Amino acid sequence: MCNCYKVSTSQNAAISVTDLTKRYGERNAVDHISFEVPRGTICGFVGPNGAGKTTTIRMLLGLVKPTTGEGTVLGEPLTHPERFLGKVGALIEGPAFYPALSGRENLKVLATLGNFPHDRVDQLLDQVGLLDRASSKFKTYSLGMKQRLGIAAALLPSPELLILDEPTNGLDPAGIQEVRELLGHLAGYGLTVLVSSHLLSEIEAIADDLVMLRDGKVLFSGQTKALLTAQQPTVIASSNNPQDLARLVEIATNSGHQAQIVNQSVHVVADATFATSFNKAAFEAGVTLSSLVTALPTLEETFFELTSDN
């Protein structure tokens, strides 16, 4: 019997899946999804709770067997995780360690198992700021410290691919900033990072690429910039006189654009070229604008737009 695997996807992809499905009973937790994560990029993996992000990550790591579909990780088939997991670091659904062992000993359990040099344990503990608490038992760590230990464990194999599921959970703003800088730093060395997060502003700030899921299906897969620029921009106008806002809505509507008052300003669905004629029309109507800007929707707004029932 042929045990060969047809790799039909781009060789430049760190992760490539085709028609991947996981069925639990009558429900498809992941429903025929296909996407690629290019090598050397930071790819955001976003979607509402229950969208299938964690199940997909577990399938990529060989923890859950796909019902149908195929894929590759670092060019190796998903059916043979032993061929690629030595080059993959992962933090899945929060940090899981042995409560009665110290942070250092927990990492040594994994370093011994993965045959990684033990010198690396203290280097990584230092890198994530836990060296001074390395001898403390894991159960005494704060949530942020546990999360940082999880990131250190993921970095143990000096990975080519890092898969992080909600890595900023429990971190304070400084910790979130550290993780952001760390990921940017790692991507600079050619590492590929797949990071799932509910903090879409974080993903927008760091992710070159994006995979967006809902109800187990891929809503979008590609460059973050491409997704955002494809969205309709908004011209936002403000006036010092609140009574002028209704007049501005009227001017925009008469020009054939959708407009509404949002937080003491008028939001007009139109591209940047409308701003000049809008400004002129407002001036001619006796309305002086205090500000006029053109904005693309944020990832969060785009996410809600794409994942809303309507």
Partner 1 sequence: MIRIFKSEWRKLRRPTLFLGTMVAVVGLTGLISSLLFLLLDSPRGNGREGMMITRETLAMPNGLYVGFANSAGLLGVIALCVFAAQTAIEYTNGTLRNLLVREPRRLLLLAGKYLAMVSFALVTVCFSAIISITISISLAGSKGVSTDQWFTSSAISLFGSTFGNVFLSVIAYGTVGMTLGLLLRSPISSISIAVAWILVIENILSATVSGISKWLPGQLMSAIPVQFGVDFSYSRALVGTSAYLLIFTVAAATLFKRRDVVN
Angle at which helices 119-127 and 103-114 cross, to 10°: 130
CB nearer partner 1, residue 122 or residue 301: 122
97: closest CA among 85, 109, 114? 109
Burial class (CB in 10 A: 0-12, 13-18, 19+), 231: middle
CB of 88 to partner 1, least distance (A): 7
Among 38, 40, 48, 62, binds partner 1 (CB under 8 A): 62
* Distance set, CA 47 to CA 59, 65, 217 (Å): 17, 21, 10
CB of 135 to partner 1, least distance (A): 13
CA-based torsion, 240, 245, 247, 252: positive or negative: positive
45: closest CA among 168, 181, 203? 203
CA distance 307 to 46: 11
CB of 54 to partner 1, least distance (A): 9
Taking CB under 8 A as the binding criterion, the range among 5-13, 96-104, 199-207, 219-227 that sits at the site for partner 1 is 96-104
Under rule CB under 8 A, residue 293 binds partner 1: no
CB of 38 to partner 1, least distance (A): 22
Taking CB under 8 A as the binding criterion, the range among 63-71, 177-185, 199-207, 258-266 that sits at the site for partner 1 is 63-71
Under rule CB under 8 A, residue 119 binds partner 1: no
User: Euclidean distance between the first and final Cα of the chain, in Å?
Assistant: 49
CB of 83 to partner 1, least distance (A): 9
Under rule CB under 8 A, residue 101 binds partner 1: yes
Q: Using CB under 8 A as the criterion, which residues of the chain lie in contact with partner 1 when the complex forms?
A: 58, 61-65, 81-82, 85, 88, 90, 92-94, 96-101, 105, 108-110, 112-115, 153, 157
